[in-house]
Structures are given as C-alpha cells and as structure tokens.
Structure 1
Amino acid sequence: MTQFDKEKLIEVVLYIINATKGLDYYHIFKILYFAQQKHLCKWGSRIVADDFVAMEYGPVPTKLYSAVCKNEHYAKELIPLFTEAIEFAGKDASNTLLPKREANMDYLSPADIESLKESIAENKGLSFGELVDKSHDSAWQATNNCCVMSISDIAKAGGANDGFVDYINEQEFIQKALS
C-alpha cells in the first residue's frame, strides 16, 4: 500500500463516519466492502487499495482492521494516520468511531462518493445479523476463513459479468505492475 493509498483509506473512513455521525467499525467495514463492490461493478476499479479478508462475520479490510486494533505488525504506518483523524467514542460505545475532522474530499472522486453514498444508504441501518447475512455473499463463500477475497469474486458477487470481470483483472494486473 502506497502512502497515498493509506491516506485515501483514512479519508474514505472519515467520509463514512462524518456522513453517518459516527458508526461502529463493523458497519464501517461492511459499508466500505459494499461500496468497493459497487465501484468495481460500475467503474472496474477499487475505491481503496486495502484487501478484504473473509472473517467469521463477513469481509474485513485487512489494513484498516489492523489500524483499528492497533496491530503495529500489519499497520505500523497506518496507525498514526488513523489516530490523528479518528477516535473511539468511549466506554459506553467502545466500537464506535468518531471523526476528529472532516474528510479531505480531494482524495475522493465523484465515482467514489457515489458508491459510498449508495452503500451508506443501503447498509447503515441494517442490524448486525442482517449485515452478516448480506455480506456472506458468493465472494465470501468462495474464500477460506481468514484468507484474502479475490477482487474478481467480489465483482461477480456484485453482479459483474465475465467480460467485465476480465477487464477488472486486467486493471488489477496493470496497477500491480505500475506499483
């Protein structure tokens, strides 16, 4: 993950928690997952460079999760960015994240914002159980527990056809070659 990718991830999370006035990180992870899926299916690219791992209760963004848990082994450079911009609500809502500032919108494209808005509207009001059921889609089912979910499986689960999935895979290959 490049420095820009890390900064963008934080700005995306800030966008979500500012738009929702604070939210538990489980909901944030799922909103981010479904926004990423929408963006892949419509534009053929990711919103964030973070990989999603298939965990017991659904997809989890690996680096962001490590930053939330302050796991320096996996997110040493992301943790300071996270703690400068985001805080936990406190003892009564220890899983709720609150923004320390507004998101820097220079990091988000209009397409990013569109996908994020749609995902927020669809998922912020769902219960934990509803999000578990919804996020246990075909991409999650195709992945072993605690393994990285493939971008092509995530796109297929969102409704992308085989031709578009091929395009997404080509874009991923090009992106990796350039980084």
Structure 2
Amino acid sequence: MQAFNVDKDKTLNAALFILNQLGEADYHKVFKILYFAEQQHLKNFGQPLTGDAYQAMPFGPVPSFLYDIFKAAENHQSPFSEAIELSKSFAVVRKDKIPYVSALVAADTDQLSETNVEAILKSIKENHHLSFKEITDKSHDTAWAKAEKAVDTEMSYLDIAASAAASEEMLAYILLNAENDNLNVY
C-alpha cells in the first residue's frame, strides 16, 4: 500500500525535467531514472520525490501516475481526466514498437525543490548511459523483488529506502512520518 500521496505537479515537472535534460527517451529510461532519484531522495531526506506509487513490473519499477500520463499522451485518451490534461506536455511516438516520449514544454522548476533537482541530476548522470538490460538489472533491487513476489505488486517506500541502504535512523524516520499521517508503508 502506498505510504505517501502522489504530488501530481511534482510528478509532471520531474518527468519534464528529466526529458529536458535527455531529450527524447523511452518510457523505461525515464521511469528508471525517476525511480533511482526517488530512492536517493528517500535515503537522504526520508521523503519521496513525487510520492507516485511504483509497481514492480517485469522490467523494473514503474511509477503508476506517470505511466497513466504517458499512455494518455500516446493514446489521447484516459479514464483519468488529470492524466489527459497533464499529457498535453508530452509527445509520444513508437519506434519499432517501443514508446519514446519527449517534453513539449520546459519543466516548471519552481515545483521542484533543490534536493529534488539534485537527486534527478545525480540519477541522470549515473543511469542515462546504461543499456536497457543494465538499467533493468540495476532496478531489480530488494524492494522490487519483494513486491514482484507479492499479490499486490506495489512497492513499499520503506523497502525502496532500505534497498538504497538508508540508515536505520532514516528508516525509522520514514516509518514515524507515515504513522503520524496514518499511512501504511508496508
């Protein structure tokens, strides 16, 4: 179950920021760069970057809300009106059946904190050059493995932070924040 609420504006602008840095990229690359930025933000600050719910899919973690936005950009329809509205910031084309997305607008960096931008830039630097297989293998961490084996494939933010070797103090902090907000981190 998701421990934090998705910040839709931050999710939009984090994806735009990634694409403004990379140019056109496939969904997979964007999702994994965002995942590793989320992971580092949790490890260092005890809070996710976007709060999006990550699903453990065969090729690694997928942020649910961002996936809905990209699919709406590709298909020009969605059961979620917010996804349709936000999808207008992206263009999607398929090349050999692989969806590639590009930003149509610049990210509103006022929606991202300094620590958000730092985490995203670090993730881009560490992961943009990785092949599909390399970034998939890297994303198949302990948090992914635990969720992938479960009935509900939603990844726990506590597990995501632990897979990044967050300190015991930081894990306790994440748990305390979730309990204070009556959220479930498991």
TM-score by length of structure 1 reads 0.88
Kindly, what percent of the aligned residue pairs are identical? 35
Residue deviations 1:26-58 (CA, integer Å, cap 9, x gap): 000000000000000011101102110101111
**Letter matched to residue 60 of structure 1:** V
> Relative to total residues, which structure has the larger helix share, 1 or 2?
1
- C-alpha contact 1:13 1:28 (8 A) present in aligned 2: yes
Q: Does 1:150 align with 2:156?
A: yes
Residue 39 of structure 2 corresponds to residue 37 of structure 1: yes
> 2: CA distance between counterparts of 1:93 and 1:130?
20
CA distance in 2, matches of 1:43, 1:128: 29
Stretches of structure 2 lacking an aligned partner (at least 5 in a row) = none
Cα distance in 2 for residues equivalent to 1:108 and 1:68: 20
Does the alignment pair 1:79 with 2:84? yes
Q: Of 109, 119, 128, which residue of structure 2 is paired with 1:115?
A: 119
Alpha-carbon deviation of 1:155?
Answer: 0.3
Measure, in 2, the Cα distance between the counterparts of 1:47 and 1:116.
Answer: 9
Equivalent-residue separation in structure 2 for 1:141 and 1:153 (angstroms): 10
Q: CA deviation at 1:90?
A: 5.4
**Pairing 1:1-179 to 2, within 5 Å after superposition:** 5-70=7-72, 72-73=78-79, 75-82=80-87, 84-89=88-93, 91=95, 95-144=99-148, 147-175=153-181
Instruction: Give the Å deviation of 1:144.
Output: 3.0
Which digits, 9 at most, give the CA deviation of each residue in 1:52-79, with x for residues without a partner?
0101111100111122223734x43222
C-alpha distance in structure 1 between counterparts of 2:49 and 2:181, whole Å: 13
What is the CA distance between 1:163 and its match in structure 2? Answer: 2.2
Structure 1 contact 8–48 (Cα < 8 Å) conserved? yes
**Structure 1 position 23, deviation (Å):** 1.1
> What is the SS of the residue equivalent to 2:17?
helix
SS of corresponding position for 2:55: strand
Taking the aligned partners of 1:87 and 1:176, their CA distance within structure 2 comes to 38
Post-superposition shift, 1:92? 6.5
Separation in structure 1 between the aligned mates of residue 49 and residue 176 of structure 2, nearest angstrom:
16
Residue pair 1:6, 1:78 contacting (<8 A) in 2 also: no
Gaps of 5+ in 1: none
Displacement after TM superposition at 1:94 (Å): 5.2
* Shift of residue 161, structure 1, vs aligned partner: 2.1
Give CA deviations for 1:93-147 in whole Å, capped at 9, x if unaligned: 8511111111001100000000000000111110010011100001111113561
Alpha carbons 1:8, 1:107 under 8 Å: kept: yes
Q: Does the CA contact (< 8 Å) of 2:43 and 2:161 recur in 1?
A: yes
Assess, with a 3 A threshold, how the Cα gap between structure 1 residues 104 and 131 changes in structure 2: closer, same or farther: same
